Amino acid sequence: MKIKETGTPLDLKPRCKIVNIGISKDTALKKIQDNLIKGNDIAVGFMDTDDNHIELKVPANQRHFWSPKMHIWIEEEGGETSLSCVVGPNKGIWNVFMIFYIIAIALTIIGLILGFYQKHNHETPYYFWAVPAGLLVLFGINTAARIGQYWGKTQVSQLKSFLSMCIDQKI
């Protein structure tokens, strides 16, 4: 088994790929499904066997605002089974972050365009102030996301331990 970090340190949703887990895709799906059905205090989730997708999250009584979800896709190529994982916040938080990102980027670009327009017309380019303000907002959003990752770190470890238990290998 080999773990490849497929993301970058700047990713807000870290990714990894676990190659050659030593069991078949069907066996891995069955083991994870059995552990989810049994019930436990480590992780809950659901499976979509049509596209070999699993979504894991911490139990409801342990969740907080920054609780992560782990999405897992199981693939089989050339006799080797691999797991592709993405860890991120719940959809509501992710959507709010994306909305703020889009608004900040749009305002920065609009400020840049209007600033050049003012400069071209020999006016004082006040709109250029939108560029550093937008970059400051983007930095703030990224900082908030990093804080959320820090607060959810123990729960990510919890989800990884559940996955390790299911496939009988340390991740």
What is the pLDDT of the chain when averaged over all its residues? 85
How many CA atoms lie less than 13 Å away from 54 in the CB half-sphere?
27
* CA angle at 61 for the pair 59 and 67, rounded to the nearest 5°: 60
Q: Is the pLDDT of residue 156 over 80?
A: yes
What pLDDT, on a 0 to 100 scale, did the predictor assign at position 139? 92
What pLDDT, on a 0 to 100 scale, did the predictor assign at position 91? 85
- For residue 17, CA distances in Å to 58, 80, 86 come to 21, 13, 9
Tokens of 130: 């939108």
What pLDDT, on a 0 to 100 scale, did the predictor assign at position 122? 94
Query: For 76-129, what is each residue's pLDDT tens digit?
Result: 888 788 888 888 888 888 899 899 999 999 999 999 999 999 999 999 999 999
CATH 2.40.170.20 is the classification of domain 2-89+153-167? no
The torsion defined by the Cα of 93, 153, 33 and 35, in degrees rounded to 10, comes to -140
